[in-house]
Amino acid sequence: MDTRPVGVFDSGLGGLTAVRQLTACMPEERIVYFGDTGRVPYGSRSRGTIRRYARQDAAFLLSQDVKMIVAACGTVSSVAADLGQELPVPFLGVLGPTAQAAAAATRTGRIGVIGTTATIRSGSYRRALAAIDPAFQVFDRDCPLFVPLVENGFFAPDDPIPRLTAERYLAPLREADVDTLILGCTHYPLLLPVVAQVMGPGVALIDSGRETALACRRFLQEHGLEAPAGQEGGRRFFVSDRTEGFASIAQTLLGESLEGSVEHIDIENFPCAGAEDR
Ligand code: DGL
């Protein structure tokens, strides 16, 4: 048993798809969330920049005395998966749990992956899926407009803007006849109804935020790190830019008022010590 909070970070709102699920399956856990809203998006940046940001995000969460760090960010999980080796607490990314869930869901072995440009460029999902079964056929596509759409609140299923964007991005994956589609960026589950409409009912959609939350629960239980029964859970949110914009979209997403629980921090005050990157 461990009363300390779980630390979760993302470039912005996307990691809340993991927080939503964490709260549903472990209501007694305390969660500290950091959304790097001042530097979102990560997915269009260089590997070195993403790794530097990820180290600073982790350093901030460590300052909050967390018992575990969850990178609820496909981009960080893809290009800084080794960050855990530098940390004094367990580290979990989205890649492994999401790839496993897709492998379990597919019937035909034809798996689609959508993610940020950095994630797709890294080939991380291709490698993770091939390690599970080399016979899988993987079709991937970056969707760089999805993160800004979500960050600006354009994710309602009846909104033509995300719908048209999704039709454009997903056309090759429909043509490839995938039976499973990994939403490899944690922002994308917010567009899940739109993606489901475009892909049609025969395609299993794998929500990386949800799978990561379930993996986090398994890890805490297996390592005796879960919160004691009866502990009052709670969430604190930190962002690196304006708190208002984040709070209003986040509360729609989480279905509760976040008034007073979103705080601003200066992420540049946190160290990015570690091996140099390009
Ligand atoms: N939620 C992040 C991910 O899972 C978005 C990255 C971005 O900011 O571009 O990749």
Task: For residue 183, give the nearest of 107, 125, 106, 113 by alpha carbon.
Answer: 113
Which of 208, 227, 243 is the endpoint of a domain? 208
Question: Among 116, 188, 212, which is best to mutate for testing ligand 1, by the most ligand atoms less than 8 A from CB?
Answer: 116
- Greatest Cα pair distance in the chain: 50
Which of 208, 225, 254 is the endpoint of a domain? 208
Domain residues for the domain of 137 are 95-208
pLDDT greater than 90 at residue 248: no
B/e letters for 148-178, b = 16+ CB within 10 Å, e = fewer, are ebbbeebbeeeeeebbebbeebbeebeeeeb
* Separation CA 72–CA 87 (nearest Å): 16
Ligand 1 midpoint to CA 268 (Å)? 19
Predicted local distance difference test score (pLDDT) of residue 83: 94
Assess if residue 1 is contained within a domain: no
Please list the residues that pair with 35 across neighbouring strands.
Answer: 10, 239
Assess if residue 277 is contained within a domain: no
Predicted local distance difference test score (pLDDT) of residue 277: 53
Question: Among 8, 11, 47, which is best to mutate for testing ligand 1, by the most ligand atoms less than 8 A from CB?
Answer: 11
DSSP, collapsed to helix, strand or coil, labels residue 231 as coil
pLDDT greater than 50 at residue 49: yes
CATH number of the domain bearing residue 58: 3.40.50.1860
Q: What is the pLDDT of residues 189-229, one digit of tens each?
A: 999 999 999 999 999 999 999 999 999 999 999 999 999 99
pTM above 0.85, yes or no: yes
Q: What is the mean pLDDT of the chain?
A: 94
* Separation CA 120–CA 5 (nearest Å): 31
The number of the ligand 1 atom at minimal distance from the alpha carbon of 45 is 9
pLDDT greater than 50 at residue 57: yes
Predicted local distance difference test score (pLDDT) of residue 245: 85
Q: What is the pLDDT of residues 109-132, one digit of tens each?
A: 999 999 999 999 999 999 999 999
Same domain? 39 vs 133: no
Assess if residue 275 is contained within a domain: no
Q: What residue ranges line ligand 1, CB within 6 angstroms?
A: 10-12, 14, 40-43, 73-75, 116, 119, 147, 185-187
Active site residues: 73, 185
Which of 208, 234, 258 is the endpoint of a domain? 208
Number of domains in the chain: 2
Same domain? 214 vs 175: no
